[in-house]
Amino acid sequence: MARFKVYLEYEGSRYSGWQVQKNARTVQGDLINAAKKIFNTNKIEFYGSGRTDAGVHALLQVAHLDVQTMLAPEIIRMKLNDELPADINIIEIEKAHKNFHARHDAVGRSYLYQISRRRTAFGKRYVWWVKDKLDFKRMVEASKLFVGMKNLASFTADDEEEKSTKVLIEDIEMREVGDLILIRIYGSHFLWKLVRQIVGVIVEVGRGKLSSEKVQQYLHLKSDEPAKYTAPPSGLFLEHVYYKGDKTLRSLEPTMNIIKSPFGKL
């Protein structure tokens, strides 16, 4: 059995998330089905670095593929892309050590969230359009409250796989690009709906409907209130998965030109 490291991207609008589910279309499910056709076997494992929710996109997801084959990585990449729908794309495949694990070996991840301050005909599947006026300075101040090792029990839905709600948020970067607000969150790992609830609370602060003091209360006492502010999946992208030796991203840009062009020049 050979193991391969797979780098891929996907547009999540049509999928019920990454993980295989009964009676639902998922990214992992489409990958496994494509691999079964290519290798003509059911003995396949396609294991991702982490799950993404329904409607969430990935600029760079990492997975490992286990399969018995003599095909070269580049041939596998081309054959998989021939079988996959247009909204899933394999960027690169390389041979991996037999002990490499896409999830367990990851040392960090970054997510990008895109907020639009105007209605857009082109990017509505990739942004959250917030109609209310937003105070960017207050949003930045609120974002700093999440940085560090925090108990984020108030900012996640129940997840049986997670035994601890303590997460190291290494940094939150924010930038205005025309009518877009970009939020990048670096973390050791992420709980279910964590990024969307953090973003939702930051937006409520920007709207003037939540105070920084209230956010601090959420961080110290378990509350169900942040769930009410959960941001929609459309604006969320798994941006990068980090392994030992990887360099941290520096520039903070819109995800693609089709998003960038309607919102003005950089």
Copy the structure tokens of residue 4. Answer: 């391969």
Q: Are 61 and 49 in contact (CB under 8 A)?
A: yes
Delimiting residues of CATH 3.30.70.660 domain(s) in the chain: 108-244
pLDDT score of 157 = 77
Secondary structure class of 204 (helix, strand, coil): helix
Question: In this predicted structure, which of 32-46, 138-152, 237-251 has the lowest mean pLDDT?
Answer: 237-251
- Which residues of the chain does CATH 3.30.70.580 include? 2-95
User: What pLDDT shows up at residue 158?
Assistant: 64
**Are 191 and 162 in contact, with CB atoms under 8 Å apart?**
yes
- pLDDT exceeding 70 applies to what percent of the chain? 93
* d(C-alpha 110, C-alpha 230), whole Å: 18
Predicted local confidence at residue 161, as pLDDT: 58
Q: Are strands 108-116 and 128-129 parallel, antiparallel or unpaired?
A: parallel
d(CA 79, CA 191): 34
| Chain segment 176-217, per-residue pLDDT in tens | 998 999 999 999 888 888 999 999 999 999 999 999 999 999
**HSE-up of residue 159 (Cα within 13 Å, Cβ side):** 18
How many Å is the maximal CA-CA distance in the chain? 59
CA proximity to 139, closest of 229, 264, 16, 245: 229
Residue 104 has a pLDDT of: 95
Which residues does the annotation mark as catalytic? 53
Would you state the CATH architecture of domain 108-244?
A: 2-Layer Sandwich (3.30)
Any idea which fold 2-95 has? Alpha-Beta Plaits (3.30.70)
Length of the chain: 266
Spatial distance between the Cα atoms of 170 and 73, rounded to a whole number of angstroms: 34
